[in-house]
Amino acid sequence: MDRRIIIAIDGPAGAGKSTIARRVAERLGFTYIDSGAMYRAVALWAIREKLDPAGTRHMEELAKAAAIEFEPGSSSVRLNGEDVTAAIRTLGVSNAASIVSAIPGVRRALVETQRKMGEEGNVVMEGRDIGSVVFPNAAVKVFLDAHPDERARRRVEQTGEGDRDAIAAQIGERDQRDRTRPESPLVQAPDAVYLDSTALSQDEVEEAILKLVRARMSNGKEYQ
């Protein structure tokens, strides 16, 4: 019997997914996987190669060829053997990643890699389409949201980049693109639990998710 447990955390940029997903994974001893980092890694490669992130064929080739690895127990990401943990966090890469991630061939390639990562053990994976597309049978699905102003505030605090209005505008633009793209748009899976973190502390969000996990684990059902 397959007892792998997948916890899917989806939601818009700046809702607090990464911090919470990492903490939940730590608490449960699961592997944390940041699927957005994979789209970012492809975008970084494109920028370095001076390729257009909207160029379907080239981006598909990069996504298929990219060797993306996560260092277990840390947030380090490697692209083709190089540590790109910091390099993928710039504003330029954020914007290019949003464009790259709308390309169906790129998504196909990365979703395949994500599913393979999920086969290897218990994981907490965060992104936009984890509960809706990548792991539709995930044991626990959370859609983590927060008010756009609060998401912009958190991003500024987290990255120390730019002013809040500019960040808010960029987040709005990325959200719009992520929600309206034809391929795997950001949507709440019908069976996902909606969590609004605007007025919650990280501890409260973590506790709410752990409660869902405990409830799911104790009802004797099988897990994906």
Binding residues for ligand DC (CB under 6 A): 13, 35-36, 39-40, 97-98, 101, 127-130, 174, 178
In sequence order, which ranges of 29-147 are alpha helices (DSSP H)?
A: 35-48, 56-65, 91-100, 104-119
Task: Identify whether the C-beta of residue 213 lies closer than 8 Å to the C-beta of residue 140.
Answer: yes
Nearer to ligand DC, 178 or 206 (CB): 178
Taking the complex as a whole, the smallest distance from the CB of residue 170 to ligand DC amounts, in Å, to 10
Cα–Cα distances in angstroms (integers) from residue 81 to residues 12, 66, 70, 76, 117, in the given order: 29, 10, 11, 11, 17
Q: Is the C-alpha dihedral spanning 106, 12, 172, 169 positive or negative?
A: negative
Taking the complex as a whole, the smallest distance from the CB of residue 86 to ligand DC amounts, in Å, to 13
Nearer to ligand DC, 5 or 130 (CB): 130
Taking the complex as a whole, the smallest distance from the CB of residue 18 to ligand DC amounts, in Å, to 7
Nearer to ligand DC, 53 or 218 (CB): 53
Taking the complex as a whole, the smallest distance from the CB of residue 99 to ligand DC amounts, in Å, to 8
Nearer to ligand DC, 63 or 212 (CB): 63
* Backbone angles phi and psi of 75, in degrees to 5: -100, 15
In sequence order, which ranges of the chain are alpha helices (DSSP H)?
A: 17-28, 35-48, 56-65, 91-100, 104-119, 148-159, 164-180, 202-218
Taking the complex as a whole, the smallest distance from the CB of residue 35 to ligand DC amounts, in Å, to 4
| 3-state secondary structure (DSSP) of residue 37 | helix
Nearer to ligand DC, 63 or 213 (CB): 63
